[in-house]
Amino acid sequence: MQTISCPHSSSKDLVKNGHSENGSQRWRCNTCRKSFQLDYRYNARKQGIKEQIAALTLNSSDVRDISRRVELFNFIQFITL
């Protein structure tokens, strides 16, 4: 039984959308029209980091603070892969 849901909208209204180059099933969400991979945990984390960096960039002018946080995110990503 599949319990896949969209990492963007949590919708379960999904259609198959081919495969990525590493063979992972890709899906497209009928609710928000975004596509994602079945093993989306890595991508979700990656996207979360990107969003957090973007938010930091928008909300802070302290470049040293941003770079320190980015280094921490990269470290967390490295040890959890």
**By the rule CB under 5 A, 6 interacts with Zn ion:** yes
Say which DSSP state 17 is in.
Answer: E
Q: Exposure string (b/e) for 1-37, b if CB count within 10 Å is 16 or more?
A: eeeebbbbeeeeebeeeeeeeeeeeebbbeeeeebbb
- Residue 35 in contact with Zn ion, rule: CB under 5 A: no
Using the contact rule CB under 5 A, the part of the chain among 26-34, 39-47, 62-70, 72-80 near Zn ion is: 26-34
- The verdict on 8 binding Zn ion (CB under 5 A) reads yes
Segment interacting with Zn ion, rule: CB under 5 A, options 3-11, 19-27, 42-50, 63-71: 3-11
Q: Is 11 in the site for Zn ion (CB under 5 A)?
A: yes
Q: Provide Rg for the chain, Cα atoms.
A: 16
Binding residues for Zn ion (CB under 5 A): 6, 8-9, 11, 29, 31-32
